Chain A
Amino acid sequence: MSNEIWVVADLTIGGDVRKVTFEALSEARRKLVGKLGGQLCGVLIGSGVSALASELGKYGAEKVYVVENELLKDYTPEAYTVALSELIKKHNPYIVLAGNTSVSQDFLPRVAARAEAGLAVDCIDLDLTDDKRLVVKRYKYSAKSIAAVEFLDYKPMMATIRPNVFKPEEDVKNPEVVSESVEIKPEGIWTKILEVRRKESPRPELTEADRIVSGGRGLGSGENFKLIFELADAIGAAAGASRAAVDSGFVPYEMQVGQTGKVVSPTLYIAIGISGSIQHFAGMGSSKVIVAINKDPDAPIFQKCDYGIVGDLFEIVPVLTEEFKKLLAQQ
C-alpha cells in the first residue's frame, strides 16, 4: 500500500478536464493529504491527454500518471477498466477518487470489483479516521438522509464526489509526469460506439451549474419555457424542469431534476411553477439557496425555500429577467 491519493481525471466530450476533477483534487488536499502524510496524484486516461497534466498540477497534483493508448481515444468501459485496474495493481494507491460523472459511474464499479475494493459514490464529505481509514458522507433514501460511512479495509478505498459540492482551489505544482503503458486487447473491447450526440446548448450542464432555473407544470406549455430560458440566460444559469413538465411534453427528459431525474446542488435554484414535491426535492434539496415563484400560497415549496414570491409567473418572470439584466449590466 502506497501513501498516494489518486484523483482520476474526468474529461468532457470536447477533451477538457471537468471542474469536478479540480474539486476532488482540492478537497483531497484540504482534508486527506495532510492527515495521511500522503502524496496527491492525478490520473489521466485517454489518447493525447498528457498535455493536461499541468492542469491537474494547478490544483495540487504532485505527480500525474498518464495512460495513453489509441484504444483509449473514445471512452469504453472495458478499455478504461483495464487501464485503471492495471495501474492500481502496479502502484497500490491508498485512496482513489473521481467525480461522480456518467463515465465514473460506468467503469469504476468494474474497477472496484476487480480490485475487491469498496466504492462509495456521490460523496459530499471526505475525511480520515484516526487510524487513517476513509470516512465519507453521502445521501441515502433519495436525499432524505445523510449517512456517514466508514471504510473497513484498504484495497484501495474508492470514492466518487458529487459535482459542485467542494470548492476548487488552485495550488500550483509542477507535477512529475509518469507515463504508463497498459496492454489493452482490442478483442476485449465489447462496446462499439455508433454515435455521440452533443446537445447543442449555450447553457451550462445541469449537474455542473452553479445556478439553475427550473420550470414546472405551471408553465403550461413548451412554448412558455422560453420564459425559463430567458431568465436562465440573464444570469448564466442552466435550465431544468420538474417531472410533470417533462411528462406533459414541454421539455425533454434530460432537463428533469429530481429523484428520477438529475441530482443537482447549485448555489442558486429558482423553481418556477413547481409545487415542490418530495421527489423534486430529492434532486435539488441540497441547493444552497432556493427561490420559489408560485401562485398558490399553500404550495409545499413555500415551506422549504429561502425566498419566494406568491404570484403569477407570467407576470413575475419577465420582470425578474429584466431586473437581473439591469443589475448585471451595472457590474
Chain B
Amino acid sequence: MRIVVIVRQTPDTEAKIKVAPSGDTIDTEGIKWIVNPYDEFAIEEAIRIKEKLGKGEVVLITMGPARCIEALRTGLAMGADNAIHIKDESFAFTDPYALAKVIAQEIKNLGEFNLVLTGKKMIDEETGQVGIHVAEELGIPHVAIVTKVELSSDLTKVTCQKEIEGGQMVVEVPLPALITCERGLNEPRYASLPGIMKAKKKPVKEVTIDNINLEALGLTKEALGPAGARFRVTKLEVPQIQRRLKILKGKQQDMVKGEEVAEAVRELVRLLREEAKVI
C-alpha cells in the first residue's frame, strides 16, 4: 500500500498579511510558515491507515521554493516515510493548472500508488482545485471534502463520508483514488522529539525544473512561474471594512447588570432596526 500525500506550505493562520510593494502579492518578510492545516489531516490519515494495516509507505510531495522542506520535515516527523520536493524559487506562485499537472506527473513517476490524500483547499491561495485536478490527470476517482475514510478489507475500495449542504453523503470508489480532507476527519498528532530526529535522516528526493518534462505536459517554464498562465493577479488588497464599534457597557465601563441588561438589549435592537436596518 503506497499512500501519496500532497502537501503545501502556507503562512501561519495567525500571520498578519501585508501587501508587497509590487501590489500583487504578500510581503513574506517575517512570516512563519506551517503545513497547510487541511494537509495535516491528510498526513495524519495516511499515517493512521499505514499503522492500522501494519505495512505500507507514506510519500509526501510538494512543489515550491526551498523553504518548503520544512513542511516536508514536519510530515516526516509525524511519521511519513519519504518525500519528493519539486523545487524552484519561482514555484512560490505557480498557477493551479500547472501545479496540478506537474504534481500528477511526479506521482505517475512513482509507478504504483493506491491512495492520494490532500487538503480540501490551501488556506493561502484558496484556489480550491489542485487536488481534484490531480485526480483528473491521474485518471482516477476523487472524493472531496471528506470527514471519514474506510478502506475495504481487500484494499480495492474506499468508503468516504463527505460533507454537502444540508447533510452528508457516503460514497464508495475503487482504488486508486484521491481524497481531499476536511476538518473533522481526525486530530493530527504533534511530531515527537524522536520523530523529529528520525525525520532528518528520511530521504527527500529533489526534482528541479530541468527534470520536469514540460513538453509532455503542454507547459512552458514561464507557466510555472509568477507570471502564471491562466490568470494574473492585478491587485491585492487587505480589506478595510469600517465597523461601527458601538459597544454598550455598564455604568462601570464594564458588564451590563440588572436594569442595564434590558436597556442595552432595547438599544441594540433599536440600532439594528433604525441604523443598520437589518431587522
Binding site for B on A (CB under 8 A): 12-13, 18, 77-78, 100-103, 105-106, 108-110, 112-114, 116-122, 135, 138-142, 144-153, 190-199, 201, 205, 207-208, 211, 235, 253-254, 256, 259-261, 267-268, 278-279, 282, 285-286, 288-291, 295, 297, 302-312, 315-316, 319-320, 323-324, 327-328
Selected interface stretch from B61-69, B81-89, B203-211, B234-242: B234-242
Q: Are A102 and B163 in contact (CB under 8 A)?
A: yes
Interface size on B, residues (CB 8 A): 90
Cα A305 to Cα B244 in complex, Å, equals 7
* Given A196-B170, A268-B279, A302-B247, 5 additional A-B pairs, CB 8 A: A118-B97, A192-B173, A308-B247, A309-B268, A310-B250
- On whether the beta carbons of A150 and B232 are closer than 8 Å, the reply is yes
Binds A, one of B10-18, B49-57, B72-80: B10-18
Complex partner residue of B144 from A105, A211, A302, CB under 8 angstroms? A105
Chosen A-B contacts, 7 in total, with CB atoms closer than 8 Å, are: A12-B166, A102-B165, A140-B125, A145-B238, A150-B231, A192-B172, A310-B247
B276 contact set on A, CB distance < 8 A: 268, 289, 306-307
A312 touches B255 (CB 8 A): yes
Q: Are A146 and B239 in contact (CB under 8 A)?
A: yes
* A148 with B235: CB separation less than 8 A: yes
| B264 adjacent to A311 (CB under 8 Å) | yes
Cross-interface CB contact of A278 among B13, B143, B228, cutoff 8 Å: B13
Q: Which of B231, B246, B247, B262 contacts A120 (CB 8 A)?
A: B231
Residues 170-210 of B at the A interface (beta carbon under 8 Å): 170-174, 177, 183-184
A199 CA to B169 CA in the complex, in Å?
Answer: 11
Per the bound structure, the CA–CA distance linking A119 and B135 in Å amounts to: 16
B172 to chain A: closest CB distance in Å?
4
Whether a CB of chain A sits under 8 angstroms from the CB of B266 is yes
How far does the alpha carbon of A267 sit from the alpha carbon of B127 in the complex, in Å? 25
In the complex, what's the smallest C-beta–C-beta distance from A110 to chain B, in angstroms? Answer: 5
Secondary structure type dominating chain A contacts? mixed
Q: Which 3 A-B pairs have the closest CB atoms?
A: A118-B230, A109-B129, A190-B141
In contact, A13 and B245 (Cβ under 8 angstroms): no
* Residue pair B247, A121 in contact (C-beta under 8 Å): no
A156 to chain B, nearest CB (A): 11
**B167 and A142 contacting across the interface, CB-CB below 8 Å:** no
A62→B91 CA distance, assembly (Å): 43
B70 within 8 A of A: no
Given contacts A120-B231, A149-B233, A288-B278, contact A259 B173 (CB under 8 A): no
**Interface assignment of B116: CB less than 8 Å from any CB of chain A:** no
Q: Which of B127, B239, B255 is close to A311, meaning CB atoms less than 8 Å apart?
A: B255
Using an 8 Å CB-CB cutoff, how does the interface string of B267-279 with A read, 1 for contact, 0 for none? 0110111001011
Q: Which residues of B contact A153 (CB under 8 A)?
A: 229-230
A152 touches B144 (CB 8 A): no
Set of chain A residues within 8 Å of B96, measured between Cβ atoms:
119
In the complex, the answer to whether A308 meets B236 with C-beta atoms within 8 Å is no
CB distance from A185 to the nearest CB of B (A): 14
CA distance A201 to B163 in the complex (A): 15
Q: How far is the CA of A197 from the CA of B171 in the complex (A)?
A: 11
> In the complex where A120-B231, A151-B230, A319-B262 touch, is A259 in contact with B279 (Cβ < 8 A)?
no
A149 with B133: CB separation less than 8 A: no
Closest chain-A Cβ to B239's Cβ sits at a distance in Å of 5
Known contacts A150-B234, A253-B184; decide if A305 and B269 are in contact (CB<8 Å). Answer: no
The answer to whether A148 and B129 have CB atoms under 8 Å apart is no
